[in-house]
Chains A and B, each alone.
Chain A
Amino acid sequence: MADTNQYKRVVGGSVPRFAPHARFRFDDIRQAWVVLAPERLLLPDEQAVEILRLIDGERTVDAVIDELARRYEAPREVIAADVIAMLQDLVGKKVLRQ
């Protein structure tokens, strides 16, 4: 679908960061992490929160995947598919940049 926008494709070497007006924060009232963006509100599940907490504008996608594979002792390719799909979705929503 987005073939004309190859430069936006998330790859292992990408360094994702939150867009300037996206806020990833813990909500005390719900006791849950939330992502706030222009007229958009995401309530990430536990797995997504784990990924997003590793997004710091310095780690590459490969480093994020390595860290999660280590933590969960899970096969790297399984983790990689999940991580890249989620990050690609959030880049498309302009919550993340790379």
Chain B
Amino acid sequence: MEQLEFTYPAKRKVNKRAHVGVVGSGDLEVLLEPAEGELAHVVIRTSVNGFSDTWKAVLDRFFSKYDGAVRIQINDAGGTPGSVQLRLEQAVEASER
């Protein structure tokens, strides 16, 4: 298991927290919570080691569109970049519902 952390600039306040997904094979859970200030902080625990560049690429892309000030925790059991992207978008959708 590997723990990774990333920080991105944020502009917008988020009001609601959201939880989506399951730590099942090929899947992940995302916990998204409002944060103070103008930063988004992501902590990842993943069962697959050595993919920090891929995580960075997926998150760079996600935060090129998303500007909420949030704390995101990801517990991953080998989700593909595609499913990570979808789970993140699902968490955002749930937090804005």
Are A and B part of the same complex? no
Taking Cβ atoms with an 8 Å cutoff, the residues of B that contact A are none
Taking Cβ atoms with an 8 Å cutoff, the residues of A that contact B are none
